[in-house]
Amino acid sequence: MSDIVVIFKNQPPLYISLLKTNAAYIWKNLFTKNYQQKFPLYRDMKKYTIGYLEQLINQANNLCGWNFTTNISSLNDTVKLHKHIETTLANGYSNIPSEWDDLLDELHFSIHVIDKQFGSPIVSNPRKFLQLEWFNDDCVLLPDDFKFSDTFKFGDIRLQNAYVGHHPIMVYMQNDHSNISQTCRLHDKIKPGLYISTAPGMSTPFDKFSNDYYNWWHTHGLDFVANHGWEKILDYTGHPIIGQVTNLNDLEQINESPDILELQEVIVQ
């Protein structure tokens, strides 16, 4: 029996089985509570093109008084834009004008769609995940017994990122050592959003004990290591997996759909 069933309009249902962990149990209760209060938002990644990102930057320049380039042509451009948003939100959404909230959230989401497209000359399908979410601050602490996975697969259910910042592996993979204390955020909270990974996955375990990983952090992130401790960084290095879609063929069909997906219903069992 599935724990969650997700139904997009004119698509087969997706059946989700959660792991028997405290984190998965807590997440399911949090998701259920939010779903009972309000229907979640689903943003289809097919909508998020470079042209749309550049439109959002232009809006932010006008609304927020920025002067950021609207010519986005590389991963370096999106990393710089992400830094700009990090700085703007350094003290949280409560410390910026409320009329900026939706635009910056949409801009942040758009960046993470677009930066996955760089490096490939042809991107036939920009969908790397399907995420149902709520724009609220509802969250609980990640239990101490949670173990991050060294790999992830197509169809994995991950905990939604709780921060604008990036987790340790992503900071390392992007060689992003500019203001690490601002960018790197350890995933220590559970948010109610449902994240279905549709990226190809990583079958080879990430070697967090490698000399390269150790040397990178102790070269570029000494202050961060001193603040958190190397063992804690290792504990939070990995992928926050709490379940899996069981009908992967249907997920493949949905992910490859040329149409903009429309969320119809979620059933919690």
Whether the Cβ atoms of residue 261 and residue 8 lie closer than 8 Å to each other: yes
Out of 56-65, 100-109, 110-119, least confident range? 110-119
What is the rounded average pLDDT for all residues in the chain?
91
Whether the Cβ atoms of residue 250 and residue 14 lie closer than 8 Å to each other: yes
Helices within 65-210 (DSSP H only): 75-88, 101-114, 168-173, 180-183
Out of 105-119, 136-150, 153-167, least confident range? 105-119
Distance CA 123, CA 237 (A): 28
The arithmetic mean of pLDDT across residues 15-33, rounded, is 98
Out of 2-6, 194-198, 250-254, 256-260, least confident range? 256-260
What pLDDT sits at residue 208? 96
Q: Which tokens hold the place of 33?
A: 């509570």
Q: Which tokens hold the place of 194?
A: 């449902």
Q: Is 63 left (phi over 0), alpha (psi -120 to 50) or beta?
A: alpha
113-132: pLDDT as tens digits: 887 666 544 445 668 899 99
Angle among Cα 148, 181, 109 to the nearest 5 degrees reads: 65
**Closest to 158 in 3D by CA, of 182, 142, 175, 173:** 142
Q: Which 8-state DSSP code applies to residue 2? A: -
Task: Inform me whether the pLDDT recorded for 83 exceeds 60.
Answer: yes
Chain Cα centroid distance, residue 21: 21
Helices within 21-94 (DSSP H only): 22-37, 50-64, 75-88
Task: Inform me whether the pLDDT recorded for 77 exceeds 90.
Answer: no
Q: What is the pTM of this model?
A: 0.82
Of the pLDDT bands very low, low, confident and very high (cuts 50, 70, 90), residue 89 is confident
Instruction: Reduce the DSSP state of residue 254 to 3 states and report it.
Output: helix
Task: Inform me whether the pLDDT recorded for 108 exceeds 80.
Answer: yes
The arithmetic mean of pLDDT across residues 5-9, rounded, is 98
Of the pLDDT bands very low, low, confident and very high (cuts 50, 70, 90), residue 92 is confident
Task: Inform me whether the pLDDT recorded for 59 exceeds 90.
Answer: yes
Instruction: Reduce the DSSP state of residue 192 to 3 states and report it.
Output: coil
| Residues of the chain above pLDDT 70, percent | 96
Whether the Cβ atoms of residue 11 and residue 261 lie closer than 8 Å to each other: yes
Of the pLDDT bands very low, low, confident and very high (cuts 50, 70, 90), residue 202 is confident
Residues 6+ apart with CB under 8 A from 196: 6, 14, 16, 129, 130, 131, 155, 156, 157, 245, 251
Of the pLDDT bands very low, low, confident and very high (cuts 50, 70, 90), residue 95 is confident
What pLDDT sits at residue 121? 43
The arithmetic mean of pLDDT across residues 229-235, rounded, is 97
Distance CA 104, CA 52 (A): 14
Whether the Cβ atoms of residue 159 and residue 239 lie closer than 8 Å to each other: no
